[in-house]
Structure 1
Amino acid sequence: MKKHLFIIILFYLTQNLGGFAQCTPDPTYTGFGIPGIWPDTVTGIASGTMGTAYSQNFTVIVPIDTTVTIPVLGTITATINSVSITGITGLPSGLSHACDISSCLWPGNTNGCFLISGTPNQSGNFTFSVTIVANVESPLPFPLDGAYDAPAYDIVYNLTIDSTGTTTSIKRIEEDNIEVYGISPNPSNIGAKIRFKSTGNQNVSFTVHNMIGVLVMSKQIYSEQGMNIVSIDTGELNPGVFIITLIDGVSSSSKKMVIGAQ
Protein backbone atom coordinates (compact mmCIF):
# COMPACT_ATOMS: atom_id res chain seq x y z
CA MET A 1 0.00 0.00 0.00
CA LYS A 2 2.78 2.42 0.93
CA LYS A 3 4.60 1.57 -2.29
CA HIS A 4 1.51 2.34 -4.38
CA LEU A 5 0.96 5.62 -2.50
CA PHE A 6 4.59 6.61 -3.10
CA ILE A 7 4.21 5.95 -6.84
CA ILE A 8 1.04 8.04 -6.98
CA ILE A 9 2.71 10.95 -5.18
CA LEU A 10 5.76 10.71 -7.42
CA PHE A 11 3.56 10.72 -10.54
CA TYR A 12 1.65 13.77 -9.25
CA LEU A 13 4.84 15.71 -8.59
CA THR A 14 6.28 14.79 -11.98
CA GLN A 15 3.17 16.00 -13.78
CA ASN A 16 3.09 19.30 -11.90
CA LEU A 17 6.80 20.00 -12.18
CA GLY A 18 6.52 19.48 -15.93
CA GLY A 19 4.89 22.90 -16.23
CA PHE A 20 8.02 24.67 -14.97
CA ALA A 21 10.72 25.67 -17.44
CA GLN A 22 14.35 24.82 -16.80
CA CYS A 23 15.37 28.40 -17.54
CA THR A 24 17.21 31.18 -15.75
CA PRO A 25 16.94 34.93 -16.40
CA ASP A 26 19.96 35.92 -18.49
CA PRO A 27 22.26 38.08 -16.31
CA THR A 28 23.39 39.90 -19.43
CA TYR A 29 19.91 41.41 -19.70
CA THR A 30 19.02 41.66 -16.02
CA GLY A 31 22.30 43.46 -15.35
CA PHE A 32 21.17 46.33 -17.55
CA GLY A 33 17.69 46.30 -16.05
CA ILE A 34 15.85 47.50 -19.16
CA PRO A 35 12.19 46.40 -18.88
CA GLY A 36 10.77 44.07 -21.52
CA ILE A 37 11.20 40.60 -22.96
CA TRP A 38 14.69 39.76 -24.17
CA PRO A 39 15.79 38.98 -26.79
CA ASP A 40 13.30 41.35 -28.39
CA THR A 41 11.83 41.17 -31.88
CA VAL A 42 14.51 43.42 -33.38
CA THR A 43 17.38 41.36 -32.00
CA GLY A 44 15.58 38.20 -33.12
CA ILE A 45 15.84 34.61 -31.94
CA ALA A 46 17.74 31.52 -33.01
CA SER A 47 16.56 29.49 -35.98
CA GLY A 48 16.05 25.73 -35.77
CA THR A 49 16.11 22.59 -37.85
CA MET A 50 13.24 20.18 -38.36
CA GLY A 51 13.76 16.98 -36.39
CA THR A 52 16.44 18.54 -34.15
CA ALA A 53 15.91 19.62 -30.55
CA TYR A 54 15.32 23.37 -30.23
CA SER A 55 15.52 25.66 -27.20
CA GLN A 56 15.22 29.44 -26.89
CA ASN A 57 15.43 31.19 -23.54
CA PHE A 58 13.58 34.48 -22.94
CA THR A 59 14.25 36.85 -20.05
CA VAL A 60 11.36 38.87 -18.60
CA ILE A 61 12.19 42.11 -16.79
CA VAL A 62 9.16 43.65 -15.08
CA PRO A 63 9.42 47.33 -14.10
CA ILE A 64 8.06 48.74 -10.86
CA ASP A 65 5.87 51.30 -12.63
CA THR A 66 4.88 52.60 -16.05
CA THR A 67 3.15 55.57 -17.65
CA VAL A 68 -0.53 55.36 -18.60
CA THR A 69 -2.42 57.88 -20.70
CA ILE A 70 -5.95 58.63 -19.48
CA PRO A 71 -8.29 60.85 -21.52
CA VAL A 72 -8.68 64.35 -20.04
CA LEU A 73 -6.24 63.60 -17.21
CA GLY A 74 -3.28 63.01 -19.52
CA THR A 75 -0.29 60.81 -18.67
CA ILE A 76 0.15 59.47 -15.14
CA THR A 77 2.55 57.02 -13.49
CA ALA A 78 0.89 53.74 -12.47
CA THR A 79 2.32 51.00 -10.30
CA ILE A 80 2.76 47.61 -11.97
CA ASN A 81 1.42 44.87 -9.73
CA SER A 82 2.29 42.10 -12.14
CA VAL A 83 2.90 41.10 -15.75
CA SER A 84 1.68 37.79 -17.10
CA ILE A 85 1.90 35.78 -20.31
CA THR A 86 -1.62 34.61 -21.09
CA GLY A 87 -0.71 32.62 -24.16
CA ILE A 88 1.73 31.96 -27.00
CA THR A 89 0.16 31.17 -30.37
CA GLY A 90 1.55 30.30 -33.78
CA LEU A 91 4.44 28.02 -32.77
CA PRO A 92 5.30 25.27 -35.24
CA SER A 93 4.20 21.77 -34.37
CA GLY A 94 6.50 20.13 -31.85
CA LEU A 95 7.38 23.29 -29.92
CA SER A 96 5.77 24.54 -26.72
CA HIS A 97 6.48 27.06 -23.99
CA ALA A 98 6.90 26.89 -20.22
CA CYS A 99 7.68 29.56 -17.62
CA ASP A 100 9.94 29.43 -14.57
CA ILE A 101 6.74 29.69 -12.50
CA SER A 102 3.62 27.75 -13.44
CA SER A 103 1.35 30.81 -13.50
CA CYS A 104 3.58 32.70 -15.97
CA LEU A 105 2.92 35.74 -13.77
CA TRP A 106 5.69 37.89 -12.37
CA PRO A 107 5.26 40.66 -9.76
CA GLY A 108 6.39 44.19 -10.48
CA ASN A 109 10.10 44.95 -10.06
CA THR A 110 11.11 41.29 -10.54
CA ASN A 111 12.76 39.17 -13.23
CA GLY A 112 11.65 35.89 -14.71
CA CYS A 113 12.01 33.73 -17.78
CA PHE A 114 10.25 31.37 -20.12
CA LEU A 115 11.46 28.77 -22.56
CA ILE A 116 10.31 27.70 -26.00
CA SER A 117 11.56 24.20 -26.64
CA GLY A 118 10.88 20.87 -28.25
CA THR A 119 11.61 19.13 -31.54
CA PRO A 120 9.92 20.86 -34.49
CA ASN A 121 8.44 18.42 -36.99
CA GLN A 122 7.67 20.94 -39.72
CA SER A 123 9.84 23.46 -41.53
CA GLY A 124 9.14 26.98 -42.77
CA ASN A 125 8.96 30.56 -41.58
CA PHE A 126 6.63 31.01 -38.64
CA THR A 127 5.23 34.04 -36.85
CA PHE A 128 4.21 33.50 -33.26
CA SER A 129 2.69 35.89 -30.75
CA VAL A 130 3.40 36.25 -27.04
CA THR A 131 0.33 37.79 -25.37
CA ILE A 132 1.13 40.01 -22.40
CA VAL A 133 -1.24 41.43 -19.76
CA ALA A 134 -0.08 43.93 -17.14
CA ASN A 135 -2.00 44.47 -13.93
CA VAL A 136 -1.52 48.09 -12.88
CA GLU A 137 -2.75 50.35 -10.12
CA SER A 138 -3.55 54.00 -10.63
CA PRO A 139 -2.60 56.56 -7.97
CA LEU A 140 -5.85 58.39 -8.69
CA PRO A 141 -9.22 57.32 -7.20
CA PHE A 142 -11.00 58.42 -10.37
CA PRO A 143 -11.63 57.16 -13.02
CA LEU A 144 -9.52 54.05 -12.29
CA ASP A 145 -9.99 53.07 -8.67
CA GLY A 146 -7.70 50.25 -7.57
CA ALA A 147 -5.92 47.60 -9.60
CA TYR A 148 -7.00 46.69 -13.12
CA ASP A 149 -5.72 44.76 -16.12
CA ALA A 150 -4.41 46.93 -18.92
CA PRO A 151 -5.43 45.88 -22.45
CA ALA A 152 -3.56 42.78 -23.63
CA TYR A 153 -0.94 43.27 -26.30
CA ASP A 154 1.01 40.89 -28.50
CA ILE A 155 4.76 40.71 -29.07
CA VAL A 156 5.33 39.07 -32.45
CA TYR A 157 8.44 37.02 -33.21
CA ASN A 158 9.66 35.41 -36.43
CA LEU A 159 11.06 31.89 -36.27
CA THR A 160 12.68 29.98 -39.12
CA ILE A 161 12.76 26.19 -39.00
CA ASP A 162 14.98 24.77 -41.74
CA SER A 163 14.35 21.44 -43.36
CA THR A 164 16.81 18.68 -42.50
CA GLY A 165 20.25 19.26 -43.98
CA THR A 166 19.91 23.00 -44.60
CA THR A 167 20.85 26.06 -42.58
CA THR A 168 19.30 29.50 -42.43
CA SER A 169 22.63 31.21 -43.01
CA ILE A 170 23.19 29.39 -46.31
CA LYS A 171 19.74 30.24 -47.57
CA ARG A 172 19.90 33.87 -46.50
CA ILE A 173 23.29 34.50 -48.05
CA GLU A 174 21.68 33.91 -51.42
CA GLU A 175 19.17 36.72 -50.94
CA ASP A 176 19.67 40.00 -52.76
CA ASN A 177 19.35 42.15 -49.65
CA ILE A 178 21.84 43.50 -47.18
CA GLU A 179 21.33 41.90 -43.78
CA VAL A 180 22.66 42.46 -40.27
CA TYR A 181 23.26 39.02 -38.76
CA GLY A 182 24.35 39.80 -35.25
CA ILE A 183 25.92 42.21 -32.77
CA SER A 184 28.41 40.83 -30.29
CA PRO A 185 28.45 41.34 -27.41
CA ASN A 186 24.92 42.62 -27.05
CA PRO A 187 24.35 44.18 -24.52
CA SER A 188 27.80 45.78 -24.47
CA ASN A 189 29.73 48.38 -22.51
CA ILE A 190 33.21 47.97 -24.01
CA GLY A 191 32.68 47.86 -27.78
CA ALA A 192 30.85 45.66 -30.26
CA LYS A 193 31.28 43.97 -33.62
CA ILE A 194 28.45 43.93 -36.16
CA ARG A 195 28.33 41.04 -38.65
CA PHE A 196 26.48 41.74 -41.87
CA LYS A 197 26.05 40.31 -45.34
CA SER A 198 26.62 42.57 -48.34
CA THR A 199 25.31 41.87 -51.83
CA GLY A 200 28.46 43.22 -53.51
CA ASN A 201 31.67 45.25 -53.25
CA GLN A 202 30.19 48.63 -52.41
CA ASN A 203 29.89 51.51 -49.97
CA VAL A 204 27.12 51.15 -47.43
CA SER A 205 25.63 53.64 -44.99
CA PHE A 206 26.04 52.81 -41.31
CA THR A 207 23.77 54.71 -38.90
CA VAL A 208 22.91 54.58 -35.20
CA HIS A 209 19.66 56.05 -33.87
CA ASN A 210 18.41 56.21 -30.31
CA MET A 211 14.93 54.97 -29.38
CA ILE A 212 13.26 58.31 -30.12
CA GLY A 213 14.72 58.41 -33.61
CA VAL A 214 17.59 60.86 -33.12
CA LEU A 215 20.64 60.13 -35.29
CA VAL A 216 23.66 59.77 -32.99
CA MET A 217 26.22 58.27 -35.38
CA SER A 218 26.61 58.03 -39.15
CA LYS A 219 29.39 56.97 -41.51
CA GLN A 220 30.09 55.32 -44.85
CA ILE A 221 31.90 52.00 -44.83
CA TYR A 222 33.22 49.85 -47.67
CA SER A 223 31.92 46.29 -47.80
CA GLU A 224 32.84 43.24 -49.82
CA GLN A 225 30.36 40.73 -51.18
CA GLY A 226 29.47 38.19 -48.54
CA MET A 227 30.04 38.42 -44.80
CA ASN A 228 31.60 41.55 -43.27
CA ILE A 229 32.39 42.79 -39.77
CA VAL A 230 32.35 46.40 -38.63
CA SER A 231 33.48 47.48 -35.15
CA ILE A 232 31.85 50.19 -33.08
CA ASP A 233 33.25 52.00 -30.07
CA THR A 234 30.33 51.97 -27.65
CA GLY A 235 32.24 54.39 -25.44
CA GLU A 236 31.17 57.13 -27.87
CA LEU A 237 27.52 56.55 -26.92
CA ASN A 238 25.57 57.07 -23.71
CA PRO A 239 24.00 54.02 -22.03
CA GLY A 240 20.68 53.06 -23.58
CA VAL A 241 19.03 51.19 -26.44
CA PHE A 242 19.97 51.99 -30.03
CA ILE A 243 18.99 50.88 -33.53
CA ILE A 244 21.88 49.93 -35.85
CA THR A 245 21.00 50.26 -39.55
CA LEU A 246 22.96 49.38 -42.69
CA ILE A 247 21.76 50.66 -46.08
CA ASP A 248 23.20 49.75 -49.48
CA GLY A 249 20.97 52.02 -51.56
CA VAL A 250 18.56 49.24 -52.47
CA SER A 251 17.79 47.54 -49.17
CA SER A 252 18.35 48.07 -45.47
CA SER A 253 18.62 45.96 -42.34
CA SER A 254 18.45 46.89 -38.65
CA LYS A 255 19.21 45.37 -35.26
CA LYS A 256 18.76 46.65 -31.73
CA MET A 257 21.85 47.18 -29.56
CA VAL A 258 21.91 47.76 -25.81
CA ILE A 259 24.75 49.77 -24.27
CA GLY A 260 25.36 49.75 -20.54
CA ALA A 261 27.36 52.03 -18.28
CA GLN A 262 31.12 51.52 -18.33
Structure 2
Amino acid sequence: MRKILLTFIIATFFVSFSEAQSCTPDNLYQDSSFGIWPDTAQDLPPAAAGVAYSTDINFICPDNVTAELDPSGQFVGNPIDEFTVTSVDGLPNGITFACNESSCQYDGGELGCANIYGTTDSLGTFPLTINVDVVVLVTVFGVTAPVTQSESFGGYELIVGSAGTIEQIITPISIAPNPGHDNISIKGITSKMKAEFVEIVNLNGQIAQSQAINSSNCDIDIKNLENGIYIARIHYLNGIKNIRFIKN
Protein backbone atom coordinates (compact mmCIF):
# COMPACT_ATOMS: atom_id res chain seq x y z
CA MET A 1 0.00 0.00 0.00
CA ARG A 2 2.82 2.39 0.91
CA LYS A 3 4.56 1.67 -2.40
CA ILE A 4 1.35 2.33 -4.35
CA LEU A 5 0.81 5.63 -2.50
CA LEU A 6 4.42 6.70 -3.11
CA THR A 7 4.11 5.87 -6.81
CA PHE A 8 0.90 7.92 -7.02
CA ILE A 9 2.53 10.93 -5.34
CA ILE A 10 5.55 10.80 -7.66
CA ALA A 11 3.33 10.44 -10.74
CA THR A 12 1.16 13.35 -9.62
CA PHE A 13 4.25 15.51 -9.07
CA PHE A 14 5.60 14.85 -12.55
CA VAL A 15 2.23 15.40 -14.21
CA SER A 16 1.83 18.73 -12.39
CA PHE A 17 5.39 19.72 -13.23
CA SER A 18 4.98 18.86 -16.90
CA GLU A 19 1.77 20.93 -17.12
CA ALA A 20 3.36 24.00 -15.53
CA GLN A 21 4.70 26.54 -18.00
CA SER A 22 7.75 28.73 -17.62
CA CYS A 23 8.95 31.90 -19.30
CA THR A 24 12.22 33.76 -19.66
CA PRO A 25 12.22 37.55 -19.14
CA ASP A 26 12.84 39.38 -22.41
CA ASN A 27 16.05 41.42 -22.11
CA LEU A 28 14.56 43.87 -24.60
CA TYR A 29 12.88 45.50 -21.58
CA GLN A 30 15.83 45.27 -19.17
CA ASP A 31 16.72 48.98 -19.41
CA SER A 32 13.14 50.18 -18.84
CA SER A 33 12.31 51.89 -15.55
CA PHE A 34 8.97 50.12 -15.15
CA GLY A 35 6.04 48.81 -17.18
CA ILE A 36 4.06 45.80 -18.39
CA TRP A 37 4.54 44.35 -21.90
CA PRO A 38 2.45 43.91 -23.91
CA ASP A 39 0.59 46.95 -22.63
CA THR A 40 -3.18 47.30 -22.78
CA ALA A 41 -2.93 49.00 -26.18
CA GLN A 42 -1.27 45.93 -27.70
CA ASP A 43 -3.25 43.52 -25.49
CA LEU A 44 -2.91 39.73 -25.45
CA PRO A 45 -3.07 37.57 -28.58
CA PRO A 46 -6.43 35.81 -29.02
CA ALA A 47 -6.98 32.17 -28.05
CA ALA A 48 -8.80 29.40 -29.91
CA ALA A 49 -11.26 27.22 -28.01
CA GLY A 50 -9.98 23.68 -27.52
CA VAL A 51 -6.46 24.62 -28.64
CA ALA A 52 -3.47 24.92 -26.28
CA TYR A 53 -2.71 28.59 -25.56
CA SER A 54 0.51 30.18 -24.33
CA THR A 55 1.69 33.79 -24.20
CA ASP A 56 4.14 35.74 -22.02
CA ILE A 57 3.79 39.01 -20.12
CA ASN A 58 6.97 40.87 -19.10
CA PHE A 59 7.00 43.40 -16.27
CA ILE A 60 9.24 45.64 -14.17
CA CYS A 61 8.22 47.29 -10.91
CA PRO A 62 10.15 50.56 -10.34
CA ASP A 63 12.80 50.97 -7.64
CA ASN A 64 10.76 53.77 -6.07
CA VAL A 65 7.05 54.53 -5.84
CA THR A 66 5.84 56.70 -8.74
CA ALA A 67 2.78 58.91 -9.08
CA GLU A 68 1.29 56.34 -11.48
CA LEU A 69 1.42 53.70 -8.74
CA ASP A 70 0.29 56.03 -5.95
CA PRO A 71 -1.96 58.83 -7.26
CA SER A 72 -2.55 59.97 -3.66
CA GLY A 73 1.13 60.89 -3.39
CA GLN A 74 1.41 59.37 0.08
CA PHE A 75 4.35 57.08 -0.75
CA VAL A 76 5.78 58.71 -3.90
CA GLY A 77 9.59 58.55 -3.86
CA ASN A 78 9.82 55.85 -1.20
CA PRO A 79 11.89 52.78 -2.16
CA ILE A 80 10.12 49.57 -3.21
CA ASP A 81 11.58 46.54 -1.46
CA GLU A 82 9.67 43.86 -3.38
CA PHE A 83 6.47 43.10 -5.22
CA THR A 84 4.44 39.93 -5.74
CA VAL A 85 1.99 39.02 -8.50
CA THR A 86 -0.83 37.56 -6.40
CA SER A 87 -3.44 36.70 -9.03
CA VAL A 88 -4.84 37.31 -12.49
CA ASP A 89 -8.61 37.68 -12.26
CA GLY A 90 -11.00 36.98 -15.12
CA LEU A 91 -9.14 34.18 -16.91
CA PRO A 92 -11.50 31.69 -18.61
CA ASN A 93 -11.79 28.16 -17.23
CA GLY A 94 -8.76 26.07 -18.13
CA ILE A 95 -6.40 29.06 -18.47
CA THR A 96 -3.96 29.92 -15.67
CA PHE A 97 -0.58 31.61 -15.20
CA ALA A 98 2.90 30.85 -13.86
CA CYS A 99 5.82 33.23 -13.21
CA ASN A 100 9.48 32.61 -13.98
CA GLU A 101 9.92 32.80 -10.19
CA SER A 102 7.72 30.15 -8.57
CA SER A 103 6.74 32.59 -5.80
CA CYS A 104 5.94 35.37 -8.32
CA GLN A 105 7.94 37.63 -5.98
CA TYR A 106 10.50 40.15 -7.29
CA ASP A 107 12.77 42.91 -6.02
CA GLY A 108 12.00 46.50 -6.92
CA GLY A 109 13.49 47.21 -10.36
CA GLU A 110 13.75 43.51 -11.25
CA LEU A 111 12.55 42.27 -14.65
CA GLY A 112 10.17 39.31 -14.48
CA CYS A 113 7.62 37.50 -16.61
CA ALA A 114 4.50 35.38 -16.38
CA ASN A 115 3.26 32.78 -18.84
CA ILE A 116 -0.51 32.61 -19.40
CA TYR A 117 -1.34 29.14 -20.63
CA GLY A 118 -3.88 26.34 -20.84
CA THR A 119 -6.80 25.14 -22.93
CA THR A 120 -10.36 26.43 -22.64
CA ASP A 121 -13.69 25.69 -24.28
CA SER A 122 -15.20 28.99 -23.12
CA LEU A 123 -15.94 31.41 -25.96
CA GLY A 124 -16.10 35.17 -25.54
CA THR A 125 -14.17 38.22 -24.40
CA PHE A 126 -12.69 38.01 -20.89
CA PRO A 127 -11.58 41.26 -19.17
CA LEU A 128 -8.51 40.59 -17.01
CA THR A 129 -7.12 42.25 -13.89
CA ILE A 130 -3.54 41.73 -12.67
CA ASN A 131 -3.24 42.01 -8.88
CA VAL A 132 0.05 42.69 -7.08
CA ASP A 133 1.25 43.35 -3.55
CA VAL A 134 3.97 46.01 -3.31
CA VAL A 135 6.17 46.29 -0.20
CA VAL A 136 7.23 49.92 0.29
CA LEU A 137 9.91 51.00 2.77
CA VAL A 138 8.66 53.95 4.81
CA THR A 139 10.89 55.93 7.19
CA VAL A 140 9.28 57.82 10.07
CA PHE A 141 11.38 59.58 12.72
CA GLY A 142 14.46 57.70 11.55
CA VAL A 143 12.81 54.27 11.73
CA THR A 144 12.27 52.36 8.46
CA ALA A 145 9.45 49.84 8.24
CA PRO A 146 7.86 47.85 5.38
CA VAL A 147 4.32 48.76 4.33
CA THR A 148 2.39 46.47 1.96
CA GLN A 149 0.16 48.10 -0.65
CA SER A 150 -2.21 46.12 -2.89
CA GLU A 151 -2.52 47.35 -6.48
CA SER A 152 -4.60 46.20 -9.46
CA PHE A 153 -4.02 46.77 -13.18
CA GLY A 154 -6.94 46.32 -15.57
CA GLY A 155 -7.55 47.05 -19.22
CA TYR A 156 -6.49 43.67 -20.63
CA GLU A 157 -8.81 41.34 -22.53
CA LEU A 158 -8.40 37.75 -23.66
CA ILE A 159 -10.57 36.95 -26.67
CA VAL A 160 -11.43 33.26 -27.14
CA GLY A 161 -12.92 32.28 -30.49
CA SER A 162 -13.42 29.07 -32.43
CA ALA A 163 -10.39 27.45 -34.03
CA GLY A 164 -11.76 28.30 -37.47
CA THR A 165 -12.03 32.02 -36.80
CA ILE A 166 -8.94 32.52 -34.65
CA GLU A 167 -6.14 30.02 -35.15
CA GLN A 168 -6.53 28.97 -38.77
CA ILE A 169 -7.30 32.44 -40.09
CA ILE A 170 -4.56 34.51 -38.45
CA THR A 171 -1.67 32.02 -38.52
CA PRO A 172 -0.35 32.84 -42.06
CA ILE A 173 0.09 36.59 -41.48
CA SER A 174 3.65 37.91 -41.80
CA ILE A 175 5.61 41.11 -42.46
CA ALA A 176 8.24 41.48 -45.17
CA PRO A 177 10.88 42.70 -45.34
CA ASN A 178 11.67 42.51 -41.65
CA PRO A 179 13.74 44.51 -40.80
CA GLY A 180 12.38 47.13 -43.19
CA HIS A 181 13.63 50.57 -44.20
CA ASP A 182 11.26 52.41 -46.54
CA ASN A 183 8.24 50.13 -46.95
CA ILE A 184 6.88 46.91 -45.46
CA SER A 185 4.04 44.63 -46.54
CA ILE A 186 1.67 42.69 -44.31
CA LYS A 187 1.02 39.44 -46.15
CA GLY A 188 -1.56 36.71 -45.68
CA ILE A 189 -4.63 38.71 -44.62
CA THR A 190 -7.70 36.71 -45.65
CA SER A 191 -11.19 37.90 -46.55
CA LYS A 192 -12.60 35.81 -43.68
CA MET A 193 -10.71 37.97 -41.21
CA LYS A 194 -12.62 41.09 -42.33
CA ALA A 195 -9.58 43.16 -41.38
CA GLU A 196 -10.36 46.86 -41.06
CA PHE A 197 -7.16 48.78 -40.32
CA VAL A 198 -3.61 48.48 -39.01
CA GLU A 199 -1.85 50.64 -36.44
CA ILE A 200 1.92 50.96 -36.06
CA VAL A 201 2.69 51.16 -32.34
CA ASN A 202 6.03 51.81 -30.64
CA LEU A 203 7.14 49.97 -27.49
CA ASN A 204 5.74 52.78 -25.33
CA GLY A 205 2.26 51.99 -26.66
CA GLN A 206 2.09 55.19 -28.76
CA ILE A 207 0.43 54.97 -32.18
CA ALA A 208 2.92 56.23 -34.77
CA GLN A 209 0.61 55.84 -37.78
CA SER A 210 -2.55 54.11 -38.93
CA GLN A 211 -4.13 53.11 -42.23
CA ALA A 212 -7.04 51.12 -43.65
CA ILE A 213 -6.59 47.57 -44.95
CA ASN A 214 -7.99 47.09 -48.45
CA SER A 215 -6.35 43.89 -49.70
CA SER A 216 -4.65 40.66 -48.65
CA ASN A 217 -1.26 42.39 -48.95
CA CYS A 218 -1.19 45.71 -47.11
CA ASP A 219 1.73 48.00 -48.05
CA ILE A 220 2.88 50.49 -45.42
CA ASP A 221 5.24 53.44 -45.88
CA ILE A 222 7.57 53.57 -42.84
CA LYS A 223 10.08 56.18 -44.10
CA ASN A 224 9.04 58.67 -41.42
CA LEU A 225 9.43 56.24 -38.52
CA GLU A 226 12.50 56.48 -36.32
CA ASN A 227 14.70 53.39 -36.25
CA GLY A 228 13.60 50.87 -33.65
CA ILE A 229 11.16 48.09 -32.81
CA TYR A 230 7.45 48.46 -33.57
CA ILE A 231 4.23 46.45 -33.40
CA ALA A 232 1.88 46.21 -36.38
CA ARG A 233 -1.53 45.95 -34.70
CA ILE A 234 -4.08 44.51 -37.13
CA HIS A 235 -7.74 45.02 -36.21
CA TYR A 236 -10.05 42.34 -37.61
CA LEU A 237 -13.46 40.76 -36.98
CA ASN A 238 -12.54 38.63 -33.95
CA GLY A 239 -9.90 40.77 -32.31
CA ILE A 240 -6.38 42.06 -32.83
CA LYS A 241 -3.27 40.42 -34.31
CA ASN A 242 0.10 41.86 -33.23
CA ILE A 243 3.27 41.38 -35.31
CA ARG A 244 6.63 42.78 -34.25
CA PHE A 245 8.98 44.31 -36.83
CA ILE A 246 12.14 46.41 -36.93
CA LYS A 247 12.65 49.71 -38.78
CA ASN A 248 16.31 50.32 -39.65
TM-score (norm 2): 0.65
How big is the shift at 1:117?
0.8
| Residues 1:21 and 1:191: Cα distance change in structure 2 (over 3 Å) | farther
Query: 1:29 & 1:210 partners in 2: Cα distance?
Result: 9
Query: 1:245 & 1:223 partners in 2: Cα distance?
Result: 12
1:124 aligns with 2:113: no
Q: Encode CA deviations 1:144-194: one digit per residue, 9 max, x unaligned.
A: 9521122422233111111232227969xxxxxxxxx99999xx9x89969
Task: Tell me, yes or no, if the aligned pair for 1:61 and 1:112 is still in contact at 8 Å.
Answer: yes
Which residue is equivalent to 2:192? none
1:43 aligns with 2:33: no
Task: Tell me, yes or no, if the aligned pair for 1:19 and 1:98 is still in contact at 8 Å.
Answer: no
| Residues 1:38 and 1:136: Cα distance change in structure 2 (over 3 Å) | same
Task: Tell me, yes or no, if the aligned pair for 1:135 and 1:150 is still in contact at 8 Å.
Answer: yes
| Residues 1:14 and 1:70: Cα distance change in structure 2 (over 3 Å) | same
1:225 aligns with 2:224: no
**Root mean square deviation, CA, Å:** 5.0
Alignment of 1:58-137 (within 5 A): 58-67=57-66, 76-137=76-137
| Residues 1:63 and 1:22: Cα distance change in structure 2 (over 3 Å) | same
Q: Secondary structure at the match of 1:28?
A: helix
How big is the shift at 1:230?
2.3
| Residues 1:76 and 1:182: Cα distance change in structure 2 (over 3 Å) | farther
Query: 1:154 & 1:123 partners in 2: Cα distance?
Result: 23
Task: Tell me, yes or no, if the aligned pair for 1:20 and 1:101 is still in contact at 8 Å.
Answer: no
Q: Secondary structure at the match of 2:21?
A: coil
Q: Encode CA deviations 1:129-152: one digit per residue, 9 max, x unaligned.
A: 1112221113x4169952112242
Query: 2:115 & 2:99 partners in 1: Cα distance?
Result: 6
TM-score (norm 1): 0.62
How big is the shift at 1:10?
3.6
| Residues 1:94 and 1:232: Cα distance change in structure 2 (over 3 Å) | same
Q: Secondary structure at the match of 2:78?
A: strand
Letter in 1 for 2:164: G
Query: Percentage identity across aligned positions?
Result: 25
Task: Tell me, yes or no, if the aligned pair for 1:135 and 1:149 is still in contact at 8 Å.
Answer: yes
Unaligned runs of 5+ in 1: 172-180, 247-252
Letter in 1 for 2:220: V
How big is the shift at 1:15?
7.3
